[in-house]
Structure 1
Amino acid sequence: MESPPLTPLSPERPPPLPSRLLAAFPAVGPSRLGWLDGLRGVAALAVVFDHSSSTFMPDFRRELMPHFNTGRYGVLVFFLVSGYVIPRSLERRGSVRTFWIGRILRVYPLCAAVVAVLLALHALGAAELRDVGPHSAGTVALAHLTLLQELLGTPSLLLVLWTLSYEMAFYLLVVALFTTRLHRRSPAAAITLALLAAVSVVAGVALPASALSGLFGTGPVIAVAAITMAAAVCCASGRSAPLRTFGGVLGGVPALALVALNGTIPLWEGLVILAVMFLGTAVHRAENGQDTWRFTAGTAVVVIACAVGSAYWYGDGDHFTRRGWISAFLLAVLTFGIGLAVRGRSLPRVVTGLGTISYSLYLVHPVLLTVIDSTVGRRRQDDLVLEAVFVTALLPLCLLTYRCVEAPCQRWGRRLAHRVEQS
């Protein structure tokens, strides 16, 4: 009797590559919020495409950017998710100390590993570093150690690191509100920041890039920011309530000042980014019954109106600040809304798996692209096949960094936080 033909999933024959990749994705446990992982996955792929299209699909990118900025879309979705997750994490723990332990071991290890690999590749001549201008190596290193480098007048070694500066500023602001017991005022914070953005545009307030660094010097601003941030984290993690309040304010006020006065993007956009994150927090409040959905919807209307109006009136015909930015912003808010609407449903493992490794996707892909640009060079015409090959090669690499760097450090962070809570 003839044996039956082998099926694609038969033990005698390995499954195809897509199936093997799918099986390799980390499973999402019941405690994880799958819809947020799905949003992270979408956001990460959007940012990956935004940067990789410069290398593999330049013609398509030039046609797309005037109408839709894929990079801004991705980071705005990330900011909405962070706004939802970060206050939730802090308030669930109820401890600033364990919050900072979790954040530091979530963000820093992979970032440090990726930068170290980039520096090693540069030393071997396989990758080019971004131009950091006249800044010394020590100045650049100290600025990156704070993760506020984009707000300290120092270019990021990796293009994507600019968003981590706004994330860090948001962490400091969230801790400030928590220690002063104003954390439930997040809708008011979102509305205030959005209105300030609109007012700055209407009033014609346009600060030069890195205004504080230009006035006082990059080195002094970085030194003061690093010392202040270290003191703020230590004080806010203390056991005394007055000390925690002092530490929160000590970190939150400078963080807001850096976003408003020392960013490299326009003032209105920096304020809108913070407003968007606090809008995510407002959604968290409504979902937990701390605010009404009607009030949260009103908050969203104000933030959307101010953001779109600011982008429109600030624009001078440039597609980045008008059509491209506005369409990206609106679709990011819509994407978050869709994720919120399906939050009770089970999502495909590939979707949540991409979200689980989204931080690796976000940080690793620029290094791989830098190597390609420095060795092979960019394509002059669109090549969809190479774009697909790049993403296919990127996924296993990010799975590796997740399992070897991210996951162990997160487990260590949870164990350390648990010991601190028990002490």
Structure 2
Amino acid sequence: MATMPRVVFLDTLRFIAAGAVLFQHVAEKESGFGQWIVGMLSPGVFGVVLFFIVSGFVIPMTAGRRFDLKTFMIRRVFRIYPLVFAAFALMALLGYCTAIPDFSAVKSATLGDWLANLLLIQDYVGATPLLGVTWTLSIEFAWYAIFAVALLSLGRKFDDKLAIAAPLVMLALVGISLVIGHRLPLGRIGMIYAAILGCRAFRTQAGELPLTRLLVDTGVFVVIMALSNIVSFGYFSHPNITMNQSLFPWLVAPIVFVLVAGIPSIRRSALVDNRITGWLGSVSYSTYLLHPFAIGLAGALAPSSLFAATSVLFALLFAVLGYRLIELPGQALGKRIIARAG
């Protein structure tokens, strides 16, 4: 089975997204300017929103013209889960065999906690989160399911209807939240909306949608998500996130993506289309999922003056190892299973 060539500008955007998440989690453990940036701009959320927009672009691109549900789901599972299993195995090893504080939750975890975390539903069943960054993966799988159902039921232009339905659903949820007096997780639901915007960008680049329509969709997305965040973090309150923190990521992430994906001179520029950022983007999933281990080990082993630099170096090491030893073999196994099943 042929492997689709990597698209450099998408990998560069993945690198930016993973770097933003890493920056936030390193800065949160330090004082000074980095922590001020986190407090004002929440770059980690920016990175996650950007990841979902990229995912929305990539999934229809990789699904191909002849969509097969079984092939699609096998590919997605073997894209995500091998590294998840490896990450939790490493978490268990470090949690049970060391006294590093970042991994201490493992010692008190029940079998139910482990099962919930492995199924990526820990946040929805009240289980102890063992690896905090995995919260996005359940939403990613929800996006895969919505994509598959919409494509099979609505056809290849399914996103035309989703681009109308998504903002209406978000507005309805905002209204429900206000009526019942309870803060709904509008940001998490908005990640699906971000992926739908990515789909629109893919169809624009494929010549199936005018750029003006993408710009309108992006403007609607920014307005709807601004309103959602004003309600979630302004009208209601959150113990860790302010309204100002919540607004920046949802404004800047779609603008960055549309500028890079929609303007050829930016997309082909040396800053975007180059081997270094492209390579760093190719290991972005491992960077994202494994960087908590890098930060935890750096905090335990490195002097405080070298904590940030050591965290970044460890994160790069984990990313390369995760990509080479887990991600690529996992994807290859998925392809073999597809070939045998076909």
Q: Same fold (TM over 0.5)?
A: yes
Would the aligned equivalents of 2:184 and 2:232 in 1 still touch at CA under 8 Å?
Answer: no
**CA shift for structure 1 position 117:** 0.8
Q: Deviation per CA, 1:184-237: give whole Å up to 9, x if none.
A: 2224324422233234334505686xxxxxxxxxxxxxxxxxxxxxxxxxxxxx
**Matching residue of 2:5:** 31
- In structure 2, the CA distance between the partners of 1:85 and 1:206, relative to structure 1 (3 Å rule), is farther
Q: TM-score, normalised by structure 1?
A: 0.70
Distance 1:117 1:130, change over 3 A: same
CA contact (8 A) 2:17 2:48 kept: yes
Does structure 1 residue 339 correspond to structure 2 residue 271? no
Q: Distance in 1 between matches of 2:139 and 2:164?
A: 18
Residue of 105, 124, 137 corresponding to 1:164: 137
Given the alignment of the two structures, is residue 282 of structure 1 paired with residue 207 of structure 2, yes or no?
A: no
Do 2:95 and 2:106's aligned partners in 1 also have CA atoms closer than 8 Å? no
Offset, 1:331: 1.5
Could you say what secondary structure the match of 2:154 adopts?
Answer: coil
Provide the C-alpha distance between the structure 1 equivalents of 2:125 and 2:339, rounded to a whole number of angstroms.
34
Give the conservation status (yes or no) of the 8 Å contact 1:130–1:158: no
Does 2:285 match 1:359?
yes
Q: Distance in 1 between matches of 2:226 and 2:136?
A: 20
In 2 relative to 1, CA 326–117 (structure 1 residues): closer, same or farther, beyond 3 Å? same
CA distance in 1, matches of 2:179, 2:185: 8
**Counting helix residues as a fraction of each chain, which structure ranks higher?**
2
The CA deviation string for residues 14-52 of structure 1, in whole angstroms up to 9 with x for no partner, is xxxxxxxxxxxxxxx982111100000111111111111
- Provide the rounded CA distance (Å) in 2 between the counterparts of 1:83 and 1:302: 17
Alignment of 1:165-244 (within 5 A): 165-203=138-176, 204-205=178-179
1:397 aligns with 2:318: yes
Task: Using the TM superposition, give the Cα deviation of residue 389 of structure 1 relative to its aligned residue in structure 2, in angstroms.
Answer: 2.8
- Structure 1 runs not aligned, ≥5 long: 1-28, 209-264
Rounded to whole Å, the distance in 1 between the matches of 2:330 and 2:170 is 37
Structure 1 stretch displaced more, 338-347 or 351-360: 338-347
Q: Is the 8 A contact 1:35 1:343 kept in 2?
A: yes
Q: Is the 2:82–2:326 contact (alpha carbons within 8 Å) kept by the matching residues of 1?
A: yes
SS at match of 1:58: coil
Q: Name the structure 2 match of 1:80.
A: 53
CA 1:190/1:30 → structure 2, altered by over 3 Å: closer, same or farther?
closer
Contact 1:197 1:269 in 2 (8 A): no
> Runs of 5+ in structure 2 lacking a partner?
none
Are the counterparts in 2 of residues 96 and 175 from structure 1 also a CA contact under 8 Å?
A: yes
Q: Flag as ranges the 4+ runs of structure 1 deviating above 6 A.
A: 132-135
Higher relative contact order (CA 8 A, sep 6+): 1
CA contact (8 A) 2:52 2:194 kept: yes
Distance 1:197 1:303 in 2: 10
Please give the alpha-carbon distance, in whole angstroms, between the structure 2 residues aligned to 1:132 and 1:117: 11
Query: Matches of 2:333 and 2:269 in 1, distance apart?
Result: 31
Q: Greater CA deviation, 96-105 or 145-154?
A: 145-154
Instruction: Quote the sequence identity (%).
Output: 28
Q: 1:190 to 1:126 in 2, by over 3 A?
A: farther
- Give 1:60's match in structure 2, choosing from 22, 33, 45: 33
Of 71-80 and 147-156, deviating more is 147-156
How far did residue 305 of structure 1 move? 0.7
Contact 1:47 1:70 in 2 (8 A): yes
Q: Is the 1:149–1:165 Cα contact (8 Å) retained in structure 2?
A: no
1:344 positional shift:
4.4
Kept after mapping to 2: 8 A contact 1:43/1:75 = yes
On the 8 A contact 1:105/1:409 being kept in 2, the answer is yes
Q: Following the alignment from structure 1 to structure 2, what is the Cα–Cα distance between the partners of residues 295 and 303? A: 12
Give the aligned partner of residue 89 of structure 1: 62
Alignment-mate amino acid for residue 293 of structure 2: V
- Confirm or deny: 8 A CA contact 2:95 2:107 kept in the other structure: no
What number of residue pairs does the alignment pair up? 330
Deviation at 1:108, TM superposition (A): 0.6
> 8 Å contact 2:83–2:327 — kept in the other structure?
yes
